[in-house]
Amino acid sequence: MPYVMGGFPDLEASASHVAALARHADLIELGIPFSDPLADGPTIQAAGQRALRGGATPEDVIAIAERLGDDGPPVVLMTYVNLVLAAGARAFMERAARAGVAGVILPDLPIDEGDDVREQARRAGVGIVPLAAPTTADARLAAIGRRADGFVYCVSAAAVTGGEVEVGDELMGFIERARARIDAPLAVGFGIRTTAQVAAVGRIADGVIVASQLIRLISDAPDPAAAEAAIERFAAEAVEALREGSHSAGEGPSAVQPVR
């Protein structure tokens, strides 16, 4: 699941990035920029600030998802609950549904809060994807599983985005605990930078989320064409790494599919 920040470096470029990544992705995570993104590290924060300075709005980003249409993979919006509440939960979720959005990730919405937001999402047919971390207690994992729509976003470490994942005993133990208590597929994100890490995470999870690394590739590119080529090349190589990893383990590649 590749991540695109809507409006970074501008709206048209981010729409092109979504279209390019859609040729390889099982899902697209599309970020709506927010001024106080508590889960995001410096790379995604900077991208969000640039998008906000460029005038990107939630409606602009949802329209990018709408442009992708039914021919592309499902789109899951990543944003913060303030924006949902500011628009009105019903209005936000119904607009997302009209655009064909499959789900919404709201890192600052605990599973035991926001009943109205969840109800409006359910009525609109939009899933709310919960998050879990290695520090999440077993009972909490079970509660998250009971409320999961489509999949659970498993944070690879107790940190913000943009670090570097370590596929070691801690992460593997966390995924084992989650699998024992959650029936929904598990997608792992935060700190996945290389295709080797994509393959390693893919061997223990149902989905692999790459975010900050794609933002870095865009930022480091000398021009828009080079940026699009760089992220599409990474996505193609990541898919190939997943296929090779799953085949060597005797399994076919898996895909996380959120509800529509």
54: CB partners within 8 A, 6+ apart: 7, 9, 10, 11
Concerning whether 237 is annotated as a catalytic residue, the answer is no
Give the burial class of 45: count Cβ atoms within 10 A of its Cβ; 0-12 exposed, 13-18 middle, 19 or more buried.
buried
* Other residues' Cβ atoms within 10 Å of the Cβ of residue 181: 17
- 2 preceded by a cis bond (ω within 30 of 0): no
Distance CA 234, CA 193 (A): 10
Of 12, 26, 29, 164, the active-site residue reads 29
Of 10, 12, 36, 40, the active-site residue reads 40
Concerning whether 59 is annotated as a catalytic residue, the answer is no
Catalytic machinery residues: 29, 40
